[in-house]
């Protein structure tokens, strides 16, 4: 049987307000609730494995590599504690270091992750596993513009800002012993004008999400939420699509993994969908340490030299269908009201616009369950537009060109 999907210009918001029902809204989940219109973060997923693709062994200089970021067409990394205060631009196909950048006046006490805001780099000197009692946690901030392309360079101290911080809920700074603290951290990314930190909790294998202003100064990191990741989180990154990845490993099972997080509200990431993806045993991957997206679906992760026998390596990954599972509203706090949940299952969908709520530059796309674009418009139609589709699972996306404002929604046609 075939059904018609209509994209119209009027509003169904009153329907959604009156009939909102929380539950799992993802048809790909084991506990999909066809009556749910509001995702409550309860979706459960089958075991997922994603074999990593080996790219190259890394240079011996990068045996302690700990962070990755894709910036301006290049991959950048750094080493962790006790190494020099330097970042490195590296080739993704060979082990070549293409450029070395030294931070004048900086100290690498325990650099653990690197982030970028479109203009500035951020280096997280917040590793704290020795005793959990550091009182000099900091993040270095400096502009990409301070790094000429091609040549090794030193960024002057005058161009480096320092973000000093403490955790708002840490009151005891007595030495806790090696690997025995809740206040170690190795994961960070930039989003919505803030830095988001994710702890490496050695005690109960959870991670706590904190936020910090992205400006030089002294601050208290604000605790937002905690999630049981069943492991130790070592890196994090955020894609333009809204998908978040948290990389980690489990010492007891000797396995590497990442958590894929999406369909969350505001900056409370853990109230959305959370899917664990197994990357294999650490005897194959080593101790994974760095992670970054290159595109919405493709990226890299790396391991440091492990147990003296597993060399430092670079891997690539590509997310499949699960990435297309919807992010309902990528900018829910913006006040946009046109991006509403749709009822599921259904035989036809009508999207209706509040006058003036959808800008002409917004794009409508429909994807099938194989991740193929089956219909798209360069702009929202000014009149009625019909698309005929067979029964199945589809993903409707309305977005701006920047993908920072928009929504994704699963359409289940029965």
**pLDDT tens, residue by residue, 341-391:** 444 444 444 443 323 344 555 566 676 655 566 766 544 445 544 556 777
pLDDT at 25: 84
- Tell me which residue has tokens 């493709």: 298
pLDDT at 125: 98
On the CB side of 68, CA atoms within 13 Å amount to 33
What is 2-41+326-413's CATH topology?
Immunoglobulin-like (2.60.40)
Cross-strand partners of 408: 397
pLDDT at 373: 67
- Tell me which residue has tokens 């490496």: 200
> Cα separation of 213 and 103, whole Å?
21
Ranges of the chain whose pLDDT falls below 50: 1-18, 322-358, 378-381, 384-385, 402-405
- Tell me which residue has tokens 């994704």: 408
Domain boundaries, the chain: 2-41+326-413, 51-318
3-class state of residue 214 by DSSP: coil
pLDDT at 84: 97
pLDDT at 38: 86
- Tell me which residue has tokens 């699509």: 241
Task: Please give the C-alpha separations between residue 184 and each of 64, 76, 179, 202, 302, in angstroms, as whole numbers.
Answer: 17, 23, 8, 8, 20
> Cα separation of 111 and 99, whole Å?
19
Q: What is the pLDDT of residues 115-142, one digit of tens each?
A: 999 999 999 999 999 999 999 999 999 9
Q: Do 265 and 329 form a contact (C-beta atoms < 8 A)?
A: yes
Matching CATH topology for 2-41+326-413 and 51-318?
Answer: no
3-class state of residue 31 by DSSP: coil
- Tell me which residue has tokens 């430092």: 312
CATH code, 51-318? 2.120.10.30
Q: Tally Cβ neighbours within 10 Å of residue 333.
A: 10
């Amino acid at each position: 049987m075939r059904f018609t999907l209509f994209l119209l210009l009027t509003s169904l918001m009153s329907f959604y307000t009156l009939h909102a029902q929380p539950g799992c809204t993802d048809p790909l989940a084991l506990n999909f609730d066809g009556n749910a219109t509001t995702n409550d973060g309860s979706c459960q997923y089958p075991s997922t494995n994603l074999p990593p693709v080996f790219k190259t062994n890394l240079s011996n200089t990068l045996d302690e590599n700990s962070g990755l970021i894709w910036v301006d067409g290049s991959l950048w990394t750094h080493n962790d504690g006790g190494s020099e205060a330097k970042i490195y631009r590296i080739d993704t196909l060979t082990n070549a270091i293409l450029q070395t950048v030294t931070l004048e006046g900086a100290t690498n006490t325990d650099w653990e992750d690197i982030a970028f805001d479109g203009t500035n780099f951020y280096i997280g000197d917040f590793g704290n596993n020795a005793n959990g009692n550091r009182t000099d946690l900091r993040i270095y901030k400096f502009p990409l513009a301070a790094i000429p392309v091609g040549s090794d360079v030193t960024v002057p101290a005058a161009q480096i800002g320092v973000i000093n911080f403490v955790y708002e809920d840490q009151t005891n700074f007595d030495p806790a012993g090696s690997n025995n603290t809740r206040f170690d951290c190795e994961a960070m990314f930039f989003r919505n004008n803030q830095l988001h930190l994710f702890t490496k909790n050695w005690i109960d294998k959870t991670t706590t999400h904190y936020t910090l202003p992205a400006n030089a100064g002294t601050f208290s990191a604000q605790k937002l939420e905690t999630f049981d990741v069943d492991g130790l989180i070592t890196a994090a990154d955020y894609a333009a699509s809204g998908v978040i990845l948290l990389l980690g490993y489990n010492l007891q099972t000797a396995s590497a993994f990442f958590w894929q997080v999406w369909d969350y509200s505001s900056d409370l990431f853990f109230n959305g969908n959370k899917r664990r993806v197994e990357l294999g045993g650490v005897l194959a991957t080593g101790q994974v340490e760095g992670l970054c997206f290159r595109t919405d679906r493709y990226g890299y992760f790396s391991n440091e030299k492990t147990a003296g026998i597993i060399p430092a390596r670079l891997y690539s990954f590509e997310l499949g269908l699960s990435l297309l599972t919807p992010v309902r509203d990528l900018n829910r706090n913006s006040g946009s009201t046109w991006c509403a949940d749709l009822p599921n299952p259904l035989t036809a969908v009508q999207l209706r616009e509040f006058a003036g709520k959808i800008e002409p530059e917004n794009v409508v796309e429909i994807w099938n369950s194989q991740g193929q674009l089956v219909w798209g418009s360069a702009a929202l139609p000014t009149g009625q537009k019909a698309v005929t589709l067979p029964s199945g699972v589809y993903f409707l996306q309305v977005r701006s060109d920047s993908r920072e404002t928009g929504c994704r929604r699963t359409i289940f046609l029965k």
